[in-house]
Structures are given as C-alpha cells and as structure tokens.
Amino acid sequence: MQIEAITRMGFVPVPYPTALRACVRQAMKSWKDFCQLRQEDKQQLSLGDRIKDIGYVLRDEKGLRKDSKKFFHANLIMPDEVKARARDIFDQRAVAFIDATDVLLAAIEPTIQAFAREVEGQFDLSGFESEVMKSQKKNWTFRYLHYFPSDEGIEIAHAHTDRGGFTLHMSESHPGAEYLGFDKNWKPLPVSESETIIFPSMGLQYRSDSKLKALCHRVLATPEAAREGRYSMVGFIDFITGHRFNDAQFRLQDFEPGFNYQMSDEEFKKFFIPR
C-alpha cells in the first residue's frame, strides 16, 4: 500500500486481493438484482428514511440541488429484523443481496485495518488503528447506491467532502466520479474492478491535525449513466474520537469545494465540538 500517495493525490489506490475482488463483484451484482424488485418489496427492508438509518432508503427530491437516488445502508450489526423481512419477501434476490453484504463486510475488514495501520505509522497517529477497529460494529457503514437516469453531464452527486473518518470507493457501474485535486482542478477518480480508492474525510483531517485533507469529490452523469442510471458501492469508516463535526451549526453543502485544503488546522478545528 503506497500510503504516502495520500498527501500528494489526496487518496490511495488499494489493490483487491482475488477473493475480495470476487466478493465486491458479487455484492454489486446482487445489488443490481435487488433494485429490480418491486418498490413495495424493497420498502419492506427500510427501517427509516433518514440518511443514518440502516436498510433501504428512497430519495426522489426536486429542485436545483435535488437528490434522486435509492440506496441501502449495511453494517456489521445488521438487525435481524432486516434479514427476516428479506426472507418474508419470498424473492431470492432479496435474500441473496443481504447475504452478499454480510460476506463483503467480513472480507473487507483486513483492507480497512491495513489502511489504518499504515496511516498510524506514516503520520504518527498513535492508537489510530485501534480506534478504527474498535468502532467497526456501529461506525462502519456501507452504502449501495443507484442514481436514477438523468441529463448527461449534470452533477448527480454534488461536490462535497464526507463527514466521517475515511471513505472507500469500492465499485461503480460507470465512470463519472471525480475528485478536486489540491491544484483545484477536477480529475477522474480512478475506481476500477481491481482496486478500491481510499481517501480522508473530515474526521481524519481532524485526527491528523490536518496533515491529511478531506478530499472533495463529486459524480457526473456520463452518457451511459444518464441513460441507464448509475450503481456504486462506498464504505464510510468512522471512528470514535473526542470531537465530532458540528452538523447542528454547519452544513458541508454550504462550503466551497476544497475550502479545507489551504485552511490552517486551528481554523479547521472550529468546525468540531466535543462529543
């Protein structure tokens, strides 16, 4: 793992071992199959409609910055209720998807731990690996996404940084993900079937005293995504620290892309409050 690339590019590519690559491929296939279920069946696997909820969520907003997608949140303590509801649908596609998420969650753990270990050693973040691994049950969230067909070239995921610790871009059906380089130019995010891309979010910038910058990224609708929609899989890896982003006072959507790149650590930490 070339962890030093994270300060130069803002992210680090991590090759998938063969077995993990197969798990990612199967999880993506099962998610696509799940999305073909009737809406009323998919809705049975919803335990709420907020962004932090586990299970199926539908977003179909209108307006300039509309958010039109469906997604599924999975974690290592998926409630038994979700699994029971999947069986009650009496469609093998629902059960197969839940099973695939469980397999992938177990398979991806060593990659996450290796990244945390490398970051701790390279940037002298004592205890970071332990913080990440102790948080895995409640604070690792894996999001399966399907963006609806849209106009070509529009932002289907607006420019933003993630609030948590760090993010894995694990798979995508079409290109279109871009990151804002430290030179403030947009560039393709090189997600592929053979590797994942891991980059810092707001939490890791705080934890590293701004040695590592939360990467600004977005998703554009390619011709294929505009016509067919876009499927993707991401992992949000958070960890327990003494402070958290103050989302009651600040909205990341209101900040200019890359606002944090040149900001002093003292100024950056004003966005955080004690837990």
pLDDT-derived band at 47, boundaries 50, 70, 90: confident
Q: In which residue are the tokens 């296939």 written?
A: 29
Task: Supply the angle between the helices 80-88 and 92-123 in degrees, to the nearest 10.
Answer: 150
Alpha-carbon Rg for the chain, nearest whole angstrom, is 18
SS3 67: coil
Structure token digits, residue 189:
């995010």
CA distance linking residue 219 with residue 153, whole number of Å: 9
CA distance linking residue 204 with residue 188, whole number of Å: 22
Burial (CB < 10 A; 0-12, 13-18, 19+), residue 253, is: exposed
> Whole domain around residue 217: which residue ranges?
5-274
CA distance linking residue 275 with residue 243, whole number of Å: 5
Residues 120, 253, 242, 237, CA torsion sign: negative
> Model confidence over 189-202: pLDDT tens digits?
988 888 999 999 99
Give percent helix, percent strand, percent coil of the chain, each to the nearest 5.
35, 25, 35
> Which pLDDT does position 61 carry in this prediction?
60
> Which pLDDT does position 63 carry in this prediction?
52
Lowest mean pLDDT among 26-35, 148-157, 214-223: 148-157
pLDDT above 90 (res 77): no
Which residues are CB-neighbours of 162 under 8 A, at least 6 positions away? 201, 202, 214, 236
pLDDT above 60 (res 49): no
pLDDT-derived band at 232, boundaries 50, 70, 90: very high
Q: Which amino acid is at 199?
A: F
pLDDT-derived band at 162, boundaries 50, 70, 90: very high
Residue 30, Cβ neighbours under 10 Å: how many?
22
**54 or 147, which is more confident?**
147
CATH number of the domain encompassing residue 266: 2.60.120.330
SS3 45: coil
pLDDT above 60 (res 105): yes
> Which pLDDT does position 114 carry in this prediction?
96
Which residues are CB-neighbours of 219 under 8 A, at least 6 positions away? 147, 155, 156, 157, 176, 177, 178, 230, 232
| Residue among 49, 74, 69, 50 at smallest CA distance from 150 | 69
Report the domain count for the chain. 1
pLDDT-derived band at 83, boundaries 50, 70, 90: confident
Stretch (H or E) spanning 134: helix 128-134
Strands 140-147 and 155-160: unpaired
> Which pLDDT does position 67 carry in this prediction?
65
